[in-house]
Amino acid sequence: MYLLECFIEHPVRTIDQTFTYYSEEPVSSGVRVQVDFNGRKVTGFVDSVQETDGVPEGIKPVLSVLDQESLITEELHALARYMKDITVSTTIACYQAMLPAKIKPRGEQKKVVMETWALPCVQEVALTPRQLEAFLFVQKNQPLLYSRLRRHFPSQAKVLADKGAVILEQRERQAALPVFREIHEELTLTEDQKKAMEAIHRKPEGVFLLHGMTGSGKTEIYLHLAREALQEGKQVLILVPEIALTPQMIERVRSRFGSALAIYHSGLNSQEKYEQYRMVRMGKASIVVGTRSAVFLPFRSLGLIVMDEEQDSSYKQDSQPAYHCRDIAIWRAAYHHCRIILGSATPSLESYARAIRNVYTLVELSHRVNRQMPDISIVSLKKAMRSGDSYIITKELEEKMRAHLEAHKQVILLLNRRGFHTSMRCTSCAQPLKCRHCDITLSYHRSSHQLVCHTCGYTTRFPKACPSCGSVEGFSAFGFGTERLEMEVKNRFEGVKVLRMDADTVSAKNGHEKILGQFGRHEADVLVGTQMIAKGLDYPDVTLVGILNGDEGLQRTDYLSCEMTFDLLMQAAGRAGRSESAGEVVLQVFDPDHYAVRDAAAQDYRSFFHQEMSYRHAASQPPYTFLIALTVSSLKQDDAERTALRCMETLKGDFRKLGVIQLPKRRDRFYARILLKGKNLEEMRAAVRNMFTEEPSLSRKDIRIDVSPMNLE
């Protein structure tokens, strides 16, 4: 007989304890079981097992054992406990975040997507000349997607299949990556890179902050360190903000390390994730490139963790448990006694502050490998508007674009807004049209002639009358997005090919890869896009980058707005002139004197760091203090606010309580937030835990806890 201590799925957050069940068969810890809890059949997670002679009174048997083997290692067990503490959540919630869907306690599985492929058949069939042409096309391009055949030969495709000249085959859709130029050999390190390597070699473990502008050769250092770890028989984890936006990094890793590489990200279906998970567990995958959730893979023996663009907000999980990937990665590196390299051109203030206090080891690369700095100019949009110039593409930017395009170079234009117009206001009362499910302004999309809510996806046509005042005078447009910009470029530059990359154009599977592939092959001259084009792209023909409304982010009210704006400007500017030809960058901004703009133009991280740190100090903002956000949501507005007030009253300790702040309604839910700000994060966490024990009714409310939040909009 075996007694099992199980964590169970339970909606009440204060229940973070194990419950005892018994099993007649041996069960290993880390597997899922089904148990009866108060008459409900729920999933449990075996935390520990004890052999026993008899079963004490009142202990129930497990109903079934769901997994044959545990994929949770001792290390991950310990990690779940750590994660629960730092995020103030429950153990079971941490396991759920850690495991891929197939073995998640709450098993929800995505459907496998199939696609049809056309394959040539060897048997002889009589064909017309045009059909033969189609057949040869299949033969030449095999394996060929049937949809592509239909596009090229609309009237022949089906006939070929009917005649049996081609066979149609259903295959599971696989994520395909475009092929970029490959760098097979290891490069000889530059003097700068050698010095950085020496500094890293001095310590066999610990946290390193590798700071160097885009193009300074950080990736090359990651790859050299990875090679060393692999040679010692260890595994390597390389974390990136988003897989689709880093095809070139993946290609570089793949061309060096080939089949030892596994790629892990949210776009994989659950079967693929499960397979990768097992590959890592069995030690078959020795190097993994992955996004946030890859930090939970069951490595046997890690020799190196790299976290590229460590400041990126996609490393922070928004939903519960709201963990930061960096904390988890640092914990795991310590567990394995290996190095973790945080790499960035614009480190988070928090990490850089730690590095200059020697909590992390600071390693800096001070030059670009090719020693070329882009030539960055700032254009004031206020001035442009006063002189009657366009505020979309100013004269200066237009002239530069002409020069670069005439020289057969490529141009990237970044505008962090999608859609055509960003708002439509009533001509009579000036109220903007808003989403009926969210308290958010609708954007106008011209291609679909619809109003779209960028928060919930709700779309609608123009109303006949203004919902606010009833006027039928119509609406006027304000602001512009990428769709409008694309049209503007096409109108002004005749014959120039333009590609647009934003959430609207990449929604199709592999949309990113298609667009980036086309641009990489120079099939278009201009790439227009939102912040998703600011990262990681390395195209030798891009010599001009224009950043439109570059300081729009400064209008956000939260304390991270300057840091995020600076980061975006620096990243975008880094896209120009990555090869032999020096690049040019034009920053179109409303406030050319703002230090975030000036320092980005000067590519001066340190100046920005010191300036921003002094503001943070003056305002007692992180990293000088810690924050915990508690966000209550409810279908009823007064309920959300009342609950938040109750939280305010119950929370006690040496910290400030800010709020209650009402957040905009989203997806028909109302939100109320309070913010704790203090010097002692442990005390603040304890206060939040105590709040639920002191006021048990709060455990049943929808309260999201976010320790060190990155999104305070």
| Single residue of 31, 88, 93, 426 touching Zn ion by CB under 5 A | 426
**Beta-sheet strands, E only, within 19-83:** 19-23, 32-37, 40-51, 60-61, 64-65
Q: Which amino acid is at 380?
A: S
Q: Are 76 and 82 in contact (CB under 8 A)?
A: no
Cβ neighbours of 495 (radius 10 Å): 7
Q: What distance in Å separates the CA atoms of residue 92 and residue 328, rounded to the nearest whole number?
A: 17
C-beta closer to Zn ion: residue 413 or 466: 466
- Smallest distance from Zn ion to CB 558, Å: 21
506 φ/ψ angles, rounded to the nearest 5 degrees = -100, 10
Which of ligand ADP, Zn ion, none lies near 183, with the C-beta cut-off 5 to 8 A by kind? ligand ADP
Which of ligand ADP, Zn ion, none lies near 699, with the C-beta cut-off 5 to 8 A by kind? none
- Smallest distance from ligand ADP to CB 632, Å: 42
C-beta closer to Zn ion: residue 282 or 429: 429
Residue 309 carries which DSSP code?
Answer: T
- Smallest distance from Zn ion to CB 659, Å: 24
**Per CB under 5 A, does 458 bind Zn ion?**
yes
> Where along the sequence are the contacts to ligand ADP (CB under 6 A)?
183, 187-190, 193, 212, 214-220, 369, 538
Q: What distance in Å separates the CA atoms of residue 499 and residue 412, rounded to the nearest whole number?
A: 10
**Site map (CB under 5 A) of Zn ion, residues 430-449, x = contact:** -----x-xx-----------
C-beta closer to Zn ion: residue 275 or 439: 439
Query: Which strand (E) or helix (H) includes residue 531?
Result: none
C-beta closer to ligand ADP: residue 188 or 358: 188
- Smallest distance from ligand ADP to CB 250, Å: 13
Q: What distance in Å separates the CA atoms of residue 380 and residue 375, rounded to the nearest whole number?
A: 17
Which of ligand ADP, Zn ion, none lies near 556, with the C-beta cut-off 5 to 8 A by kind? none
Closest to 342 (Cα-Cα) out of 297, 314, 304, 286? 304
Which of Zn ion, ligand ADP, none lies near 214, with the C-beta cut-off 5 to 8 A by kind? ligand ADP
Instruction: Say if strands 542-547 and 584-589 run parallel, antiparallel, or are unpaired.
Output: parallel
| Single residue of 249, 353, 466, 533 touching Zn ion by CB under 5 A | 466
41 φ/ψ angles, rounded to the nearest 5 degrees = -90, 115
**Count of residues near Zn ion by CB under 5 A:** 14
Which of Zn ion, ligand ADP, none lies near 429, with the C-beta cut-off 5 to 8 A by kind? Zn ion
Q: Are 241 and 291 in contact (CB under 8 A)?
A: yes
Q: Are 316 and 564 in contact (CB under 8 A)?
A: no
Which of ligand ADP, Zn ion, none lies near 471, with the C-beta cut-off 5 to 8 A by kind? Zn ion
Task: Copy the structure tokens of residue 451.
Answer: 């109003």
Task: Copy the structure tokens of residue 667.
Answer: 């997806």
C-beta closer to ligand ADP: residue 211 or 234: 211
**Per CB under 5 A, does 452 bind Zn ion?**
no
Alpha carbon of 712 to those of 303, 394, 707, 708: distances in Å?
Answer: 36, 33, 12, 10
Which of Zn ion, ligand ADP, none lies near 367, with the C-beta cut-off 5 to 8 A by kind? none
Which of Zn ion, ligand ADP, none lies near 469, with the C-beta cut-off 5 to 8 A by kind? Zn ion
Which of Zn ion, ligand ADP, none lies near 193, with the C-beta cut-off 5 to 8 A by kind? ligand ADP
Which of ligand ADP, Zn ion, none lies near 372, with the C-beta cut-off 5 to 8 A by kind? none
Residue 314 carries which DSSP code?
Answer: G
- Smallest distance from ligand ADP to CB 276, Å: 25
Q: Which residues touch 450 (CB under 8 Å, ≥6 apart)? A: 444, 459, 460, 461
SS (H, E, C) 220-255: HHHHHHHHHHHHCCCEEEEECCCHHHCHHHHHHHHH
637 φ/ψ angles, rounded to the nearest 5 degrees = -60, -45
C-beta closer to ligand ADP: residue 361 or 611: 361
| Single residue of 456, 582, 661, 663 touching Zn ion by CB under 5 A | 456
- Report helix angle 191-201 to 218-231, nearest 10: 50
- Smallest distance from Zn ion to CB 668, Å: 9
**Per CB under 5 A, does 471 bind Zn ion?**
yes
Q: Which residues touch 67 (CB under 8 Å, ≥6 apart)? A: 31, 32, 103
C-beta closer to Zn ion: residue 442 or 627: 442
C-beta closer to Zn ion: residue 466 or 632: 466
Cα 65 from chain centroid? 35
Which of ligand ADP, Zn ion, none lies near 458, with the C-beta cut-off 5 to 8 A by kind? Zn ion
401 φ/ψ angles, rounded to the nearest 5 degrees = -60, -45
- Smallest distance from ligand ADP to CB 232, Å: 23
C-beta closer to ligand ADP: residue 178 or 664: 178
Name the residues that contact Zn ion, by CB under 5 A.
Answer: 426, 428-429, 435, 437-438, 453, 455-456, 458, 466, 468-469, 471
